[in-house]
Structure 1
């Protein structure tokens, strides 16, 4: 593993970390900068220690850098120059003071300083601080300036240990060398997805009328490509999200006779149940524990003489489960049932064959990697308009008007057409390889995964955390270290799960570092004392 993978930034919360903080404080501000007297213990406990929050950089278990934050007034700087507001040329609302910026000599090449300041910015924004104040040693004014610190007021301290009052805001950091070097967090999210330059360029074309012959040709081409992608005869393109597409499926099923069976083993299966209830459908539910697969026998056991249709989620992204399409098709064929599928997360991520499927849904975002805003309903049979359905939810109306019954977006259609052309067997294989690599890395660190490998969807990996380790805390710590994982959805918070999506073009190094930092964030919380010392 490369050396920079060993750096981990966090809030200090363990006794061993605080001991090292006091030692680093002494070495920096008693021995290197003679601000405080030396002592035999070689430790310096800051006078504001009980009020400080310490951001630290760890290399393995060694504290190699730190910075302290406190918001309680008066600041140490207030005592040196008077109320800081009187020396600033602008109004401030919620300031904090940062002190004790120190890095061990062997690690002053820049990355540790930069990491501390980047963590500081995210921490301050999260806590609502609009400005951070510091007394910067005159020995490092150039370094402070490169990180966005701006001087104000007069120098303080003795001649041999002079300090310059400085401030840092989000704006000064972003305008600094460090801010310009800062890359956005690496996102392992199921959406929004990154958009390629080619798709952006297609979207940025001048819009044109959805009533023009040119737009109709484009729409026809999009539909042909979508049908080719999933081996289906027809598809209708809707201006709306996947929820709209599934509502159209529910509306169509309301026209069918007989009961249905909805399969649910995750959040999105539960949403199908809710949509079916809202549509007034008559159905039974096969409800399994989240993350467990359906067997042929279990599904068949739910079928009665009244059963006319089955509705299921193909790729259940809430758990990372890929429900077996061959099993669903086999049961539907054996019992002469109409099979409906939510393929919102699987289209563009797996090799999808919708032959024999009555209705299926997809979206332009997620694995297709276009802009969110278009959704699709696939079907093999011709559909006529129904006066029993709301116009916007009538699949037959879309079919009759060739997917242009209402306003459409030429920009979204152009972008989608470009994105579809990038879905190749090589890309599907790469998604599968990234998924496999992430599973292996997480398993190496001892994480348990929700779904077994043989039932896993290549789009995402789901990691359950113990109830004593909040997924939001781990996720936020990873974000402050430059990696975005999926943990903020309500259903994930309720389950205390974290997810890692696999649909972007991640490098081996990014996967390794994400897994390492995930493990460090998890381990850090587990090793923290029950009552955190500040």
Structure 2
């Protein structure tokens, strides 16, 4: 896997980067464009330096291009033409100013400008800006227009350096040369995931009543596929997230006699404990360190005569491991226990056999590759309504009403049905092959993977980042360059982890490009860490 892309982009966050920025600022706006006086230091510090966010382009350790973003008022352009909103031909709610666009002469082939524009567009969209304004030098107006900037107001500056106020919106960028060649962000998330055009078409259908015959037929088709997919007798499709499905399971467990045992070796095991607490369940907890599997001996040692049920997470997404479903089924069968499973991340990602499982949860928006908004509760028995439970979490109410006791979404159901019909045995193979490839290559290039291959869940890979390098900075850098990894959840930030999900029909080019950028950003941050150690 060769690195064909010599440039990479990031947000400046190291002192040596700021020193290089001051130098390029001087070379561009004092020497090339005589906007500022020359000085003996060869550096020009922008008056808004401490308020600027700098997007920079690097080639190895050389700074070859930059652009600065700032949203504090007044803007520099406010001081030149008055409050810019008074001159803008569009209404805006949240505005930022772009300044200091500079690229070294020998790198002005267009690639650096377009790369900065692509990074900038993703940054501005994430920050929620309606528009951005800039004072564009009249020497590069054609270039600015290729990036989507539109002129407004009057020219500023002097005879030696004239500037045209310009604005950029999401629409003008998308219609520009830069916007037309920009590739959409590729998600490497456990959910929501990239969905097919057919699934999106299902969402665009005209909504129909959840009491209509067509809705009922589609619901029956979806439930039949889900039951076949998991070898379950029954499934209820709920309008809500996986948390709702697990609350429904907790509600059913509150009706059971005897005590429970919850297995907890990750974030989502902890969430089961919390949900059980909130429903007032009587249970013990078997805790292990995150990512450490449970042994048969440990589980059996935790069983007492009071224990009547076990509740566990199958695919523990927080660490990227699979808890052994066959082991749990075996122990439950041997001891006459009701086994409940959180299968939210495993359904659609692995061949799932829920035979003998009392209750299990799933969702539409992860490996099934539908849209977020529907969840499932699988069960083998005929559930009865209970006056002890709120109606919305009473499995019996759903069962007696064919999954539609309340309002439902025909659009989400249409999208789900299309996604289910697109699933095939090859889906599991593709996910597993993607996981194996990424696990092997990421390990080879030096990343520390938290979970060994023998217990790994194929849905996701967890990378442990050294504590003195920010996982947020690495994740942000990848996001702004077109690849969205999983890194913003609180439990990941706390541990400085980054995750790469394997659910999606990725091309080899997409996988290679993501690894190249991730490796480049990581190596660069490691080099900066080493340099800082030496200098200190």
- TM > 0.5 fold call: yes
Corresponding residue of 2:157: 156
- Any conservation in 2 of the 1:189–1:484 contact (CA below 8 Å)? yes
Q: 1:342-378: per-residue Cα shift (whole Å, max 9, x none)?
A: 1111000001111121111111221111122222221
* CA distance in 2 between partners of 1:36 and 1:259 (Å): 76
Please give the residue correspondences for 1:174-253 in structure 2 after superposition, counting only pairs within 5 Å.
174-253=174-253
Give the structure 1 partner of residue 12 of structure 2.
12
- Quote the offset at 1:203 in angstroms: 3.4
1:308, CA displacement in angstroms?
1.3
CA–CA distance in structure 1, aligned partners of residues 78 and 373 of structure 2: 52
Q: C-alpha separation between the residues in 1 aligned to 2:283 and 2:71?
A: 57
Deviations, residues 157-208 of structure 1 (Å, cap 9, x unaligned): 445x554343445554344332343333221112222222222233333333
Instruction: Map residues 39-188 of structure 1 onto 2, 5 A cutoff.
Output: 43-46=42-45, 48=47, 51=50, 53-69=53-69, 81=80, 83=82, 85=84, 88-89=87-88, 98-123=98-123, 132-151=132-151, 152-154=153-155, 156-159=157-160, 162-170=162-170, 172-188=172-188
8 Å contact 2:259–2:306 — kept in the other structure? yes
Aligned-partner SS, 2:422: coil
Paired residue for 2:432? Answer: 432
SS in 2 for 1:269: helix
Comparing 522-531 and 407-416, the one that deviates more: 522-531
Q: Which moved more, 1:330-339 or 1:315-324?
A: 330-339
SS at match of 2:5: helix
- Structure 1: which 5+ runs fail to align? none
Structure 2 partner of 1:359: 359
Quick check: 1:493 aligned with 2:493? Answer: yes
Structure 1 residue aligned with 2:323: 323
Deviations 1:194-242 (A, max 9, x none): 2222222333333333334443333222221111111122222222222
Q: How many Å apart are 1:44 and its aligned residue?
A: 4.7
Aligned to 2:341: 341
**Conserved 8 A contact 1:441-1:512:** no
Take 1:130 and 1:412, find their aligned partners in 2: how far apart are those partners? 29
Q: Partners in 1 of 2:124 and 2:107 — Cα distance?
A: 24
2:400 corresponding residue in structure 1: 400
Q: How far apart are 1:270 and its partner, in Å?
A: 1.0
Separation in 2, partners of 1:145, 1:290 = 52
Q: How many residues align?
A: 528
Matching residue of 1:269: 269
- Root-mean-square deviation (CA), in Å? 3.2
Give secondary structure in 1 for the equivalent of 2:498: strand
**In structure 2, what is the equivalent of residue 379 of structure 1?**
379
Equivalent residue, structure 2, for 1:475 = 475
User: How far apart are the structure 2 equivalents of 1:127 and 1:94?
Assistant: 9
**CA deviation profile, 1:285-333 (whole Å, cap 9, x unmatched):** 0111111111111111111122111110101111111111111112112
Tell me, yes or no, if the aligned pair for 1:85 and 1:92 is still in contact at 8 Å.
no
Contact kept, 8 Å, 1:150 with 1:166, in 2: the verdict is yes
When residues 156 and 502 of structure 1 are mapped into structure 2, their CA distance, relative to the original with a 3 A threshold, is: same
**In structure 2, do the counterparts of structure 1 residues 135 and 443 end up closer, same or farther at CA, with 3 Å as the change threshold?**
same
Give the TM-score normalised by structure 1. Answer: 0.88
How far, CA to CA, are the matches of 1:72 and 1:248 in structure 2? 47
Q: Partner of 2:250: helix, strand, or coil?
A: helix
> SS of 1:418's equivalent?
helix
Partners of 1:350 and 1:386 in 2: CA distance = 34
Q: Secondary structure at the match of 1:179?
A: helix
Deviations 1:47-101 (A, max 9, x none): 648556542211222222223456788876677x564649834688886654442
Indicate if the aligned counterparts of 1:87 and 1:153 stay in contact, CA closer than 8 A.
no
Post-superposition offset of 1:103:
2.3
Deviation at 1:339, TM superposition (A): 1.0
